[in-house]
Structure 1
Amino acid sequence: MSFVVATIVLASFGAALVIGGLLFFLRPHWLLDWLKGMAVFGLIFLGLYSLVIAINIGGYRSIHGLQTVASIATQRQGDEIWRVTLQPSGESPVTETLRGDQWQIDAQIIRFSGPLRWLGIAPGYRLERLAGRYTSLEQERSSPRSVVGLSERIWPDLWALDRQFNLPFVEGVYSNATFMPMRDGAMFDVRLSVSGLVAVPVNEEARKAVQLWDQ
């Protein structure tokens, strides 16, 4: 099931449950029975939870096997100053200036279980931030840092709520690519699966940077 269809289904289901639950209040004598009253609140809660999920998955992209989610190119602008171009898959490129010797891209991954999995909703990801880092620990602590946000915050944030409260049927996973070295003219692919992110050099400059970095 695509995220667009899943959003429509969950939003419709959630809205129907909330409206249906609120309609019970039009007949107060139904609430005299405590069990029925609890069922009403249960319906409303389930409906609201469905709406929260529907709102959130609209901000994620589905994961299908190992896929390339972005490419990154680095160009030197000065001593430990780099022009970094991020090209997310299917989106407009983002160009930022980062300081340091290495770059890192972070992503949030969300997985579903139980009835949400039965609906065929695939795991989703959202690129979270792009950052620079210094090789020297002393510089990392004292020099200016570069951190660029890549996504707008969603409220209520289902991923953050799951990390804090361990929500049912949802699993928020934090994943980040290993820091990769900066080099003039280097290009990398950022690939993702349900297990996490990995950065792969795709041209000679990137491969040389990784070889020198590993020595």
Structure 2
Amino acid sequence: MSHELAIIVLTVTGGVLVFAGLLFFLRPRWLLDWLKGMVVFSLILVGLYSLVIAVNLGSYQPLEGLQTVATISTKRQTEQVWRVTLQVEGGASNERSLRGDQWQMDARIIRFTGPVHWLGIAPAYRLESLSGRYTSLEQERNAPRTVISLSRKLRVDLWQLDRMFNLPFLEGVSGNATFMPMRDGATFDVRISSTGLVAVPVNDQARAAVQFWDQ
């Protein structure tokens, strides 16, 4: 399309749209009915959106600053099979078997923006999974892996919807602790902030494992 033709097409299109819009004012009742319908429709959408946020927040925990959310201890069972004790803050201790040489915890974080943030609603988090990883690339590809779910699945997952459609007034953040080595008797604290997770060694076995691993 030439420059001149583009100008003509845009001019005609703009003129037709403006004229069509002005026709509403010839019948003010139509315009008022349309405006009322739009207002009602907007209220319903905002209400449904608020309900979805409220339902999802019921499965999340409030997040204020940097806080410890879990403690993980590992004990060797057999070669590359570990007995992991997970103590979640405010919850019961849970023991599971984990395969591999390292562990990682994943979480989902929701941060609020705009009007919702102005209401003073704090960010929220939900622990998602605890998984193992092998240091050998061949084992990582072919050996059995363990992923332990730490939360129930939601029919309408606000975090997942935001990742897909970039929802207004909130931001879904993926948080995960860096893979940590599994050693007999090692204990780590898992701490979380609005930007993600961090694992902190809390006893000599864990500190020695991390120091040896970094070399």
Pairwise mapping of residues 78-157 of structure 1 onto structure 2 (< 5 A)? 78-157=78-157
Give the deviation of 1:181 after TM superposition.
0.2
| Residues 60-71 of structure 1 aligned to structure 2 (within 5 Å) | 60-71=60-71
What residue in structure 2 maps to residue 58 of structure 1?
58
Aligned mates of 1:30, 1:48 — CA distance in 2 = 27
SS in 2 for 1:33: helix
Matched letter for residue 119 of structure 2: L
Equivalent residue, structure 2, for 1:162: 162
Query: Which residue is equivalent to 1:190?
Result: 190
Structure 2 match to 1:201:
201
Give CA-to-partner distance per residue, 1:105-145, whole Å, 9 cap, x none: 00000000112111111001000000000000000000000
User: How many residue pairs are counted as aligned between the two chains?
Assistant: 187
| Structure-2 separation of matches of 1:90 and 1:187 | 18
Deviations 1:53-108 (CA, angstroms, capped at 9, x unpaired):
00011111111111101000000000000000111111112211000000000000
> How far has the Cα of 1:30 moved from its partner?
9.9
The TM-score with structure 2 as length reference comes to: 0.84
Q: Secondary structure at the match of 1:141?
A: helix
Is 1:38–2:43 an aligned residue pair?
no
- Greater gyration radius: 2
Letter in 2 for 1:126: R
| Unpaired stretches in structure 1, ≥5 consecutive residues | 1-28
Identity level (%):
68
Partner of 1:23: none
Amino acid at match of 1:190: V
Q: Is the contact between residue 63 and residue 193 of structure 1 (CA under 8 Å) also seen in structure 2?
A: yes
Cα distance in 1, alignment partners of residues 33 and 85 from structure 2: 62
Equivalent position amino acid for 1:184 in 2: D
After alignment, is 30-39 or 189-198 more displaced? 30-39
Give the corresponding residue for 1:212: 212
CA distance in 2, matches of 1:69, 1:117: 23
TM-score by length of 1: 0.84
**Residues 196, 36 of structure 1: alpha-carbon distance in 2 compared, 3 angstrom cutoff:** same
Structure 1 Cα separation of the partners of residues 169 and 207 of structure 2:
41
Paired with 1:192 and 1:50, the residues of 2 have a C-alpha distance of 26
Q: Give me the whole-angstrom Cα distance separating, in 2, the residues matched to 1:30 and 1:114.
A: 34
- For 1:41, give the aligned amino acid: F
- Shift in Å, 1:31: 10
Shift of 1:155: 2.2
1:33 positional shift: 1.1
Whether contact under 8 Å (1:30, 1:36) holds in the other structure is no
Deviation of residue 164 (structure 1)?
0.4
